[in-house]
Amino acid sequence: MAKIIESIPNISEGRNKEVVEACVDQIRNTKGATLLDYSSDPSHNRTVITYMGSPEAVEEASVKLVKKAAELIDLTKHEGEHPRMGAVDVMPFVPIKDASEEDCIALSKAVGKRIFEEAGVPVFLYEKSATAEHRTNLAAIRKGQFEGMGEKVKDPQWHPDFGTGIHKTAGVIAVGARPPLIAYNLNLNTDNLEMANEIAKEIRESSGGLPKVKAIGIMLEERNIAQVSINMTDYTVTSLFKVTEIVKEKAKERGALVIGSELIGLCPMKALIDVAEECLMIEDFNYKVQVIENHLL
């Protein structure tokens, strides 16, 4: 069977449509790679791109994307709400069909090596590809962001896995293998960024909150509202429904409301089915869903 791997890189551009399209074209124009989705956010000044294909096609598309982004994106002039350290900030690989975690780790190392050799952008391996425990967490690697990365990489503990120093305009990139992740944001009916940060701190795992949840507060300047921006690293441990209900409760305690949510990139269908099961509390839910599926097939 043919192996299928997905990649979900984040580029540090969400305002200049021409730059975004030029980067996305690298995927469109790679034989064997299928563009699934891309989504730009001007406040974050970031675009999430989702594509999949054979390991060989995904490797080629990924390297081409970094080369084009490094050519067009200058982080010395970049501003946005989302933390970033590279023109392509992060590039994860996820097994989809007949591919294993080990396949994705091998792919991340091959891509990382080529990124430095062909684009001159130093690379950190992270998550399942990390070469040391302290490099597993993306937030730990990114700490200091582009502006502080030049000094950070002088520390032997933070030398890149491929390359040295940083690219003067494209920074560095984190490349690795990981399980499926859901990027899920909840918008509040307030411009109180401190409130969003307080809620984010209370729900994220690193502060003693929900397991497999990462969160930060962000200001959406164009809408003048605060947002709790969430990465759910395992929706089978903490569900979309649970995190939504808890953020609603914590906002209400502070006199605010959740007025909407957004998915960045794609979401596994099972995560949304789980929300329906928790919310509706239908008896024999799995049986009835299976019956519906059988009628549709």
> What single string gives the DSSP state of each residue in 86-137?
BSEEEEEEEEEES--HHHHHHHHHHHHHHIIIII---EEEEETT-SSGGGSS
Tens digits of per-residue pLDDT, 176-223?
A: 999 888 999 999 999 999 999 999 999 999 999 999 999 999 999 889
Identify whether residues 39 and 146 lie together within a single domain: yes
With 0-12 / 13-18 / 19 or more C-beta atoms within 10 angstroms meaning exposed / middle / buried, residue 225 is buried
Same domain for 252 and 267, yes or no, is: yes
pLDDT tens profile 239-259 = 999 999 999 999 999 999 999
Residue 123 lies in a domain: yes
Check pLDDT > 60 for residue 293. Answer: no
DSSP character for 36? E
Residues sharing a CB contact under 8 Å with residue 155, sequence separation 6 or more, in sequence order: none
pLDDT tens-digit map of 128-147: 999 999 999 999 999 999 99
Q: How confident is the model at residue 296 (pLDDT cuts 50, 70, 90)?
A: low
| 276 falls within a domain | yes
Relative orientation angle of helices 240-253 and 269-280, to the nearest 10 degrees: 60
- Give the count of domains, the chain: 2
| Mode of pairing for the β-strands spanning 46-53 and 4-7 | antiparallel
Same domain, yes or no: 38 and 97: yes
- Asked if residue 48 and residue 168 are part of one domain, the reply reads yes
Give the range of the structural domain holding residue 130, as residue numbers without chain letter.
Answer: 4-177
* Continuous segment of H or E residues that includes residue 5: strand 4-7
Q: Does 121 lie in the same domain as 193? A: no
Query: Is residue 65 domain-shared with residue 121, that is, in the same domain?
Result: yes
* Final residue before a domain boundary, out of 160, 177, 194: 177
Core vs surface per residue 181-196: b (16+ CB within 10 A) or e: bbbbbbbbebebbebb
168 with 24, same domain: the answer is yes
| Same-domain pairing of 147 and 200 | no
Same domain as 159, residue 203: no
Residues 179, 261 contacting (CB under 8 angstroms): no
Q: What is the pLDDT of residue 151?
A: 97
Average pLDDT over residues 44-72: 97
Q: Is residue 95 a part of any domain in this protein?
A: yes
CATH number at residue 195: 3.30.70.670
- Predicted local confidence at residue 222, as pLDDT: 85
The single residue of 78, 82, 134, 167 carrying the catalytic annotation is: 82
CATH at residue 150: 3.30.990.10
pLDDT band at 294 (very low <50, low <70, confident <90, very high): low
Domain boundary, last residue among 129, 161, 177: 177
**Same domain (yes/no): 143, 15:** yes
Tokens (6 digits) for 186 = 């909840």
**How far, rounded to the nearest angstrom, does the alpha carbon of residue 16 sit from its chain's CA centroid?**
20
Taking the C-alpha atoms of residue 297 and residue 290, their distance in angstroms, rounded to an integer, is 11
Domain edge (last residue) among 177, 197, 213: 177
- Return d(Cα 223, Cα 168) in angstroms, integer: 33
Quick check: is 82 catalytic? yes
Residue 205 in any domain: the answer is yes
Weakest mean pLDDT among 103-107, 124-128, 154-158, 268-272: 268-272
In a domain, 297, yes or no: no
Please report, rounded to a whole number, the percentage of residues in the chain having pLDDT higher than 70.
96
Q: Assess whether 72 and 25 both reside in one domain.
A: yes
Does residue 296 belong to any structural domain of this protein? no
**Predicted confidence band at 281 (pLDDT cuts at 50, 70, 90)?**
confident
> Per the domain annotation, does 145 fall within a domain?
yes
pLDDT score at 268: 86
Q: Are residues 232 and 286 in the same domain?
A: yes
Return the axis-axis angle of helices 55-72 and 101-114, rounded to nearest 10°.
Answer: 40
Q: Does 295 fall in a domain?
A: no
